[in-house]
Structure 1
Amino acid sequence: MKQIGILGGTFDPPHIGHFIIADEVKHQLQLDEIWFIPTNEPPHKKKAMMAKHHRVNMLNAVIEKINYFKVNTIECNRIGKSYTIDTINTLKEIHRDVNFYFIIGADMVEYLPYWKDIEKLEKKIQFVGVKRPGFKMDTAYSVMEVKVPLIDISSTEVKHRIEKGLPVQFFLPNAVLTYIKEHRLYESE
């Protein structure tokens, strides 16, 4: 069976932390691929600031030469909030020969009790937790912990830095920075 890791998020914008996590989990768990799944409307936070086509394009710009990274837009076409259980149910119907590993940060590990249909979801996938500063990995749910370098960067912080005209060249992959500049994304009015 194929082993695929899923990293979901708004990716608004995708930063180096996302790619470091994906790469570390892929290699430490010896997965075949990592799928980045940008969400249209997450259930646990505000809608993305940037249009989904920009977020998908930024991801694709980074991964185009990395054969084990893919972008899956299953959640981008969904109207309303995207719940992981719905995404996994659909993916498992389409890809019956795949074991899915759902990668989450420690902030989401703490939030697992509030996920829709968490008991059903836990039986369908393996959660993979990665540490984040300020959060614990304690949970009653089955979460495999993967140690990754702690990179305390958030998309929110990147957006604020861009709005204020502060440098972000070391926070973002070059392809994302180029795309943001070309399309004048996240600039203040």
Structure 2
Amino acid sequence: MGKIGIYGSSFDPVTNVHLWTASTVAHRCKLDKVIFLPCSSKRKDKVMKTNDEHRWDMLQLALTDNPKFKVDDYEMKSEAWEVYTYFTMEHFKKKYPNDEVYFIMGADLLQDIADGQWKYSEELISTNKFIVMARDGVDMLKTIASSPILRNHDDGTRFHLIDKGLAMEISSTYIREEFARGGEPRYLLPEACYQYIKENSLYK
């Protein structure tokens, strides 16, 4: 049985912090594979700054040298009404029935679930395992303890909390703003992606 982490984000664009985070999580949690899952552009709560083709191409360029990293277009191809994390995890558990599948997320998303902002939250938490990365200002243990949904499904294996060494933050938004304003974010993202953005005049 292998261990697989599902790592969802807009990846608009993918950054070196995305790669470093995935590598660190894979190492600490002994994952055999990390699946990068670019989110759907059909989501009402997300506004992509470039099209799916460019996000997909940049991920392919960024992940080519690491055999543990894969990219999957499941959510990109899903209809808007299907794009919920619960359905996504059901898909990957069926795709990898002989493996343990974990959802990788930041502690801020754990707080959102606790606050009731996610649909199918009860089903999601009760049937899945999570790798939760620390975020500034979020007390992960307190978040779990104060939420009936989270604490009543916390059996000691439900949440793998990573609370040290992941405070490094360089956002895709920052990189987009630098490109838009004529800045120089070259070493904040993979070189191949930097060149791709320049060649295709993205984020202007």
Regarding TM over 0.5, the answer is: yes
Query: Match for residue 79 of structure 2?
Result: 79
Sort the Cα spacing of 1:182 and 1:136 in 2 relative to 1 into closer, same or farther, 3 A: farther
Instruction: Determine if the alignment matches structure 1 residue 151 to structure 2 residue 168.
Output: yes
Sort the Cα spacing of 1:156 and 1:42 in 2 relative to 1 into closer, same or farther, 3 A: farther
**Structure (1 or 2) with the larger CA radius of gyration:** 2
Identify which range, 150-159 or 30-39, moves more after superposition.
150-159
Query: Match for residue 190 of structure 2?
Result: 173
Alignment of 1:100-139 (within 5 A): 100-113=101-114, 114-137=117-140, 138-139=143-144
Q: Is the 8 A contact 2:26 2:34 kept in 1?
A: yes
Runs of 4+ in 1 over 4 A off after TM superposition: none
Sort the Cα spacing of 1:8 and 1:172 in 2 relative to 1 into closer, same or farther, 3 A: same
Q: Which amino acid aligns with 1:151?
A: M
Sort the Cα spacing of 1:86 and 1:136 in 2 relative to 1 into closer, same or farther, 3 A: same
Query: Match for residue 65 of structure 1?
Result: 65
Q: Which amino acid aligns with 2:106?
A: G
Unaligned runs of 5+ residues in structure 2 are none
Residue 166 of structure 1 deviates from its aligned partner by 0.9
Q: 2:178 is matched with which residue: 150, 161, 164?
A: 161
Q: Is the 8 A contact 1:24 1:148 kept in 2?
A: no
Alignment of 1:29-68 (within 5 A): 29-41=29-41, 45-68=45-68
Q: Which amino acid aligns with 1:126?
A: K
- CA RMSD in angstroms comes to 1.7
Residue 50 of structure 1 deviates from its aligned partner by 1.1
Paired with 2:180 and 2:41, the residues of 1 have a C-alpha distance of 23
Paired with 1:83 and 1:116, the residues of 2 have a C-alpha distance of 7
Q: Which amino acid aligns with 2:133?
A: V
Q: Is the 8 A contact 2:41 2:52 kept in 1?
A: no
Residue 63 of structure 1 deviates from its aligned partner by 0.8
Q: State TM-score, norm by structure 1.
A: 0.91
Secondary structure, counterpart of 1:7 in structure 2: strand
**Between the two proteins, what is the percent identity of the paired residues?**
31
Unaligned runs of 5+ residues in structure 1 are none
Residue 100 of structure 1 deviates from its aligned partner by 1.1
Q: Which amino acid aligns with 1:117?
A: Y
Paired with 2:168 and 2:28, the residues of 1 have a C-alpha distance of 17
Q: Please list the CA deviations of residues 97-123 of structure 1 after superposition, one character each: whole Å capped at 9, or x if unmatched.
A: 121111111221211132221221123
- Report the number of matched residues: 187
Query: Match for residue 27 of structure 1?
Result: 27
Say which structure is richer in helix. 2
Paired with 1:44 and 1:158, the residues of 2 have a C-alpha distance of 23
Residue 6 of structure 1 deviates from its aligned partner by 0.9
Q: State TM-score, norm by structure 2.
A: 0.85
